[in-house]
Structure 1
Amino acid sequence: MATGTLEHVNITVSDIDRTARMLERIFGWHVRWKGPSKDNGITAHVGTDSAYIALYSTGKTDARDQATYHTQGGLNHVGVLVDDLAAAERRVLDAGLVTHSHQTYDPGSRFYFHDYDDVEYEVVSYA
């Protein structure tokens, strides 16, 4: 049986450029593509050459009305693997964001943060 590889996830955000700059600054990613999308929206693919987050916006987004952990099909968090957890946390803090839930257990260490649209990221290192 062939093994699948995750290529991307698609997240609606309020400001594509602001979120793209945050992802570039924190994770060292780049904008792979940006252009028009469905419903007169805009999409930007931000990530590496092999995987990315698709950011989508029509410019008129609604705030989430409940916690995703209680919403069937909700996005709970995006996990990102880094080599240097302390350096990644400094970049998150430098972006004006707050880290929380620092944990270490097999197989690694992690912390979490919420971005400008309240999307939660788990930053993990196995180093």
Structure 2
Amino acid sequence: MSARLEHMNITVADLEATAAFLAAVFGWSVRWSGAAIANGYAVHVGDDAGYVALYRPGDGRTRDVAERYAARGGLNHIGIVVEDLAAVEARVVAAGYVPHSHADYEPGQRFYFEGPDAVEYEVVSYG
């Protein structure tokens, strides 16, 4: 049996801004948006293969961001595979974020950046 990751769901402060950022940097689009659990609202941004579900609680509050690597069950980072690492890095920089931890490793290359809502992204190219 084969399985694949379809989506992940994260709570963000500004759904529209985060969705626009992900679309601009990764070339994605909004797949769906609407009412969500507990009177919240969600925006799904991605492509035909998968997406990131962005969620805002019904009361509009977001919880404080814990130290991601110290929190059991915390989100460490989101890994995104791209064809053109340099082009994506340029868009990350143009959006005002700072790439770090560049590495060549078998079988590809990668960098990380801390994006909106203190979510860390790992951008990888295997080409």
TM bracket (short chain): over 0.9
Q: Which runs of 5 or more structure 1 residues have no equivalent in the other structure?
A: none
TM-score by length of 1: 0.95
- Paired with 1:62 and 1:52, the residues of 2 have a C-alpha distance of 22
Q: Which residue of 1 aligns with 2:25?
A: 26
Q: Which residue of 1 aligns with 2:120?
A: 120
- Paired with 2:121 and 2:73, the residues of 1 have a C-alpha distance of 17
Q: Which residue of 1 aligns with 2:35?
A: 36
Q: Which residue of 2 aligns with 1:7?
A: 6
Amino acid at match of 2:22: L
Distance apart, 1:90 and its partner CA: 0.3
The residue correspondences of 1:58-97 to structure 2 (distance < 5 A) are 58=57, 59-64=60-65, 66-97=66-97
Taking only aligned residues, the RMSD between alpha carbons, in angstroms, comes to 0.8
Amino acid at match of 2:7: H
Distance apart, 1:63 and its partner CA: 2.3
Amino acid at match of 2:11: T
TM-score by length of 2: 0.95
Alignment deviations for residues 32-86 of structure 1 (CA, whole Å, 9 cap, x no partner): 000011122110110001200000012211221x311111111100000000100
- Paired with 1:23 and 1:4, the residues of 2 have a C-alpha distance of 24
- Paired with 1:106 and 1:84, the residues of 2 have a C-alpha distance of 17
Greater than 6 Å deviation, 4+ residue runs: none
Identity of matched residues, %: 54
Q: Which residue of 2 aligns with 1:98?
A: 98
- Paired with 1:15 and 1:63, the residues of 2 have a C-alpha distance of 14
- Paired with 2:17 and 2:84, the residues of 1 have a C-alpha distance of 24
Q: Which runs of 5 or more structure 2 residues have no equivalent in the other structure?
A: none
